[in-house]
Amino acid sequence: MRWGARLAFAALGIGVVASLVRQAGAGALVAILRGAAPWLPLVVALELLRVGTDALATYAAYGDRAKMLSVPALARASLVARAVSSIAPAGRAAAEATKAALLAPWAGPAAATAAGATVQAVTLVSGGIISVPCAAAAYALSGASAITLALVLHAALLVLAGTLLRVVMRASWFGALARRVSRRAGERVVVFQERARETRLLPPGPVAVMLVGRVIQVAQYAILARAVGAATGASRALVAQGANMVSLAVGAFVPAQVGVSEGAFAWSADVLGATVPQAVAIAMLCHALEAVFVAVGAIVPLAWSSPAAPGERPEH
């Protein structure tokens, strides 16, 4: 995406935030955020656990080749990728590409790329699966509302997209097509597909671990709702998780989803059992969380040297 488009999306997001702050009242928002601040360390700790689940999912996605990985390198790559996911357009895909590049010296570029694409697919599928209880919670609270219908559609599209991605990764016609375009590219795609076929179509290990990460995220939203004084409970936390996922889908190319998440939470305020200022405050606290991990991801490459890679590469 060109820088002009990125700046346009960013400006639009900032404009939405300014409008919502004006609507909610800056004074009310500041008071809510001050009261919620003591809860942030707990939310940050839970987010660190979520980074751990991402790392475990990546490890499992390598299948039998996981033993080639350096655990410190995996931890380092996961922290850097977490920062990339917050600031890059199509953040999750960019994060997996970053992780694959950092881990390629251990398992080989084809295996690293296949594992990264697998985790991307698993992320989509797990997002679709967790959207089902989110949609059920939204229906219980608001009936066949817009947020309920959005979550039903979200669940179906994500499971379908993740499954199709894995199908294409393993499909022989994809390799044949790549060979027609370029012999060299075709050879690389063939090796990539061989690595992709080493794990099941939807490998249960990575799917299960990513679902654990989603459940942790639901707990984070329950804590944030309590922090801002909104209604609490499992159903409300599931709806908050759903609103977050819908905002990520809609604002995939908006840097850090600025404005999109605030709009999604304000739109869902009634179902969340929150006032508009409380709902917007939840989104702003999520941005604060993102800022923490962007800072961590920026510091890690400077303060934590990459472990020495093996002298021999499994493939080239």
Residue 9 has pLDDT above 60, yes or no: no
Residue 282 has pLDDT above 70, yes or no: yes
Model confidence over 53-88: pLDDT tens digits?
A: 999 999 999 999 999 999 999 999 999 999 998 887
User: Which of 48-52, 166-170, 231-235 has the weakest average pLDDT?
Assistant: 231-235
Neighbours of 54 (CB within 10 A): 26
**Following DSSP, what letter does each residue of the chain receive, concatenated?**
--HHHHHHHHHHHHHHHHHHHHHH-HHHHHHHHHHHGGGHHHHHHHHHHHHHHHHHHHHHHTGGGGGGS-HHHHHHHHHHHHHHHHHSTTHHHHHHHHHHHHHHHHH-HHHHHHHHHHHHHHHHHHHHHHHHHHHHHHHHHHSS-HHHHHHHHHHHHHHHHHHHHHHHHH-HHHHHHHHHH-HHHHHHHHHHHHHHTTS-SS-HHHHHHHHHHHHHHHHHHHHHHHHHT---SHHHHHHHHHHHHHHHHHTTTSGGGTTHHHHHHHHTHHHHT--HHHHHHHHHHHHHHHHHHHHHHHHHHHHSPPPPPPSS-S--
pLDDT interval class at 235 (50, 70, 90): very high
Model confidence over 180-193: pLDDT tens digits?
A: 888 888 889 999 99
Model confidence over 243-263: pLDDT tens digits?
A: 888 877 776 556 555 567 777
Percent of the chain at pLDDT > 70 equals 86
pTM of the model: 0.86
Model confidence over 81-134: pLDDT tens digits?
A: 999 988 877 788 899 999 999 999 999 999 999 999 999 999 999 999 999 999
| Of 253, 314, 247, the residue nearest 286 (C-alpha) | 247
Cα(127)–Cα(142) distance, rounded to whole angstroms? 21
pLDDT interval class at 25 (50, 70, 90): low
pLDDT at 49: 97
Domain locations along the chain:
13-303
